[in-house]
Amino acid sequence: MSAVNAKAAFFFLKEAGRHFNDGGRICTLVTSLLGAYTPFYSSYAGTKAPVEHFTRAASKEFGERGISMTAIGPGPMDTPFFYPAESVDAQAYHKTAAALSAFTRTGLTDIADIVPWIRFLVTDGWWMTGQTILVNGGYTTK
């Protein structure tokens, strides 16, 4: 998990800094679990936390070239990957957490809810560099 979530992101950002044109835009994906106090996800959130810092650091390192860097932290995504990877207890937790917010439907985030935010951050929202935005309907905050 560390190789996929943290190490791959580090090397991606390193190479992006070498190859992106001045004025480029990069949006990394982290997780809303970075704003949660929850069981079940220590290794997942723990391997996404470095990506948040890599994004902040890269925003400073690449900022003089006008390259903006932002991290999006969606809530648990409603994808075919989610269900087989989650225990019954974890799925129940998400439903309970979703019930605490009037803005989440199932506790899961639909991909269509995230795409407009990424589009915004790599176009008009370029100036929000170095930030982590948790886009999750109030599932977690930070």
Rounded to two decimals, what is the model's pTM?
0.86
Indicate the SS3 state at residue 39.
coil
Q: Each residue of 99-139: pLDDT tens digit?
A: 666 776 666 678 888 999 999 999 999 999 999 999 988 88
What is the pLDDT, as a whole number, of residue 104?
65
Average pLDDT, the chain: 88
In tens digits, the chain (142 residues) has pLDDT values of 899 999 999 999 999 999 999 999 999 999 998 998 888 888 889 999 999 999 999 999 999 999 999 999 998 877 777 777 788 888 777 777 766 667 766 666 788 889 999 999 999 999 999 999 999 888 888 8
How many whole angstroms separate alpha carbon 72 and alpha carbon 136? 10
What is the pLDDT, as a whole number, of residue 106?
61
How many whole angstroms separate alpha carbon 15 and alpha carbon 131? 20
Buried b (16+ CB within 10 A) or exposed e, 37-63: eeebbeeebebbbbbbebbbebbeebe
